Structure 1
Amino acid sequence: MLGAIADDFTGATDLAIMLRRNGYRVAVTIEDHDPGTSERTEIDAIVIALKTRTAPVAEAVDSSRTALHRLRDWGAEQVYVKYCSTFDSTDAGNIGPVLDVVSDELGAEKVVVAPALPANGRTVYLGHLFVGADLLEHSSMRHHPLTPMTRSRVADLLRPQTPHGVTEIHHGTVRQGPDAVRAAIETAAGRYVVVDTIDDEDLRVLGAAVADSPVVSGGSGLACGLRSPGAPDDDWQSIPDTGRVVLCGSASATTRRQIADAARSQPVRRVDPRAAVREPDAEIGRIVDWVRARGPAGAPIVYAAGEPADVVSEVDGLPVAPAVESVLAGAAQRLVAEAGITRLLAAGGETSGAIVRALGIGLLRIGPEIAPGICWSGAVTTAGTEIALALKSGNFGPDDLFTSAWDRLA
Structure 2
Amino acid sequence: MNNALRPIGFIADDITGATDLASVLATRGVDVRLAFGTDMLPADTGDAVVVALKIRSVPATEARSAAQEAAKALQAVGAEQIFSKYCSTFDSTAEGNIGPVTDALIDLAGSGRVVHCPSYPANGRTVYQGHLFVWQELLSDSPMRNHPLNPMRDPQLRRVLAEQTPHAVDSVYLSTVDQGPGAISDRLAEIGAQHTEAHHVIVDAVRDSDLDKIAVAAADDRVAAGGAAFGAAFAVAVHERSGRDLAADPRVSALPPGPAAILAGSLSRATQEQVRNFDGPTLTLNVQDLVDGEAALRKAADFVENRISDGPMLITTDHNSFGASIAEGLSSAQVSRRVELAMGDIAVELERLGVRRFIIAGGETSGAVAEALNLRSARIGPDISVGVPWIVAEDRGLALAFKSGNFGGPLFFSDALERAGK
Which bin holds the TM-score, normalised by the shorter protein? Answer: over 0.9
Instruction: Kindly state the Cα deviation for residue 321 of structure 1 after the two structures are TM-superposed.
Output: 0.3
| CA deviation profile, 1:200-230 (whole Å, cap 9, x unmatched) | 0111111111111111100101034232541
Of the three residues 189, 194, 206, the one matched with 1:198 is 206
* Aligned match of 2:134: 131
Instruction: Kindly state the Cα deviation for residue 310 of structure 1 after the two structures are TM-superposed.
Output: 5.0
Change (3 A) 1:177 1:233: closer
Whether the 8 Å CA contact 1:370–1:376 is kept in 2: the answer is yes
Residue 320 of structure 1: SS of its match in structure 2?
helix
* Aligned match of 1:346: 360
Instruction: Kindly state the Cα deviation for residue 234 of structure 1 after the two structures are TM-superposed.
Output: 2.8
2: distance between equivalents of 1:140 and 1:268? 27
Instruction: Kindly state the Cα deviation for residue 134 of structure 1 after the two structures are TM-superposed.
Output: 0.8
Whether the 8 Å CA contact 1:256–1:305 is kept in 2: the answer is no
For the aligned residue pairs, the C-alpha RMSD in angstroms reads 1.7
* Aligned match of 1:320: 335
2: distance between equivalents of 1:141 and 1:18? 23
Whether the 8 Å CA contact 2:120–2:228 is kept in 1: the answer is yes
Change (3 A) 1:311 1:203: farther
Whether the 8 Å CA contact 1:110–1:185 is kept in 2: the answer is no
* Aligned match of 2:312: 299
* Aligned match of 1:147: 150
* Aligned match of 2:251: 234
2: distance between equivalents of 1:121 and 1:357? 30
The runs of 5 or more residues in structure 1 that have no matched partner are none
2: distance between equivalents of 1:310 and 1:120? 31
Whether the 8 Å CA contact 1:251–1:305 is kept in 2: the answer is no
* Aligned match of 1:394: 405
Q: Which amino acid aligns with 2:188?
A: I
Are 1:330 and 2:345 matched, yes or no? Answer: yes
Whether the 8 Å CA contact 2:286–2:321 is kept in 1: the answer is no
Q: Which amino acid aligns with 2:53?
A: L
* Aligned match of 1:275: 289
Change (3 A) 1:274 1:305: closer
1: distance between equivalents of 2:186 and 2:321? 51
* Aligned match of 2:26: 20
* Aligned match of 1:223: 231
- Structure 1 consecutive aligned stretches of length 4 or more whose deviation exceeds 6 Å: none
2: distance between equivalents of 1:44 and 1:150? 37
* Aligned match of 2:69: 66
Whether the 8 Å CA contact 2:26–2:250 is kept in 1: the answer is no
Instruction: Kindly state the Cα deviation for residue 54 of structure 1 after the two structures are TM-superposed.
Output: 0.7
What is the aligned residue count?
A: 397
* Aligned match of 2:111: 108
Change (3 A) 1:162 1:233: closer
Q: Which amino acid aligns with 2:415?
A: S
* Aligned match of 2:3: none
1: distance between equivalents of 2:414 and 2:301? 20
Are 1:360 and 2:374 matched, yes or no? Answer: yes
Residue 294 of structure 1: SS of its match in structure 2?
coil
The runs of 5 or more residues in structure 2 that have no matched partner are 1-6
* Aligned match of 1:254: 270
Q: Which amino acid aligns with 2:271?
A: T
Of the three residues 96, 107, 117, the one matched with 1:93 is 96
Instruction: Kindly state the Cα deviation for residue 233 of structure 1 after the two structures are TM-superposed.
Output: 6.8
Q: Which amino acid aligns with 1:296?
A: S
* Aligned match of 1:157: 160
* Aligned match of 1:374: 388
* Aligned match of 2:82: 79
2: distance between equivalents of 1:207 and 1:305? 44
Structure 1, 340-349 or 25-34: larger mean CA deviation: 25-34
Instruction: Kindly state the Cα deviation for residue 61 of structure 1 after the two structures are TM-superposed.
Output: 0.9
Whether the 8 Å CA contact 2:21–2:232 is kept in 1: the answer is no
Give me the TM-score of the superposition, normalised by structure 2: 0.90
Change (3 A) 1:141 1:281: same
Instruction: Kindly state the Cα deviation for residue 104 of structure 1 after the two structures are TM-superposed.
Output: 1.8
Instruction: Kindly state the Cα deviation for residue 18 of structure 1 after the two structures are TM-superposed.
Output: 1.2
Q: Which amino acid aligns with 2:98?
A: I
What fraction of aligned residue pairs are identical, expressed as a percent?
A: 39
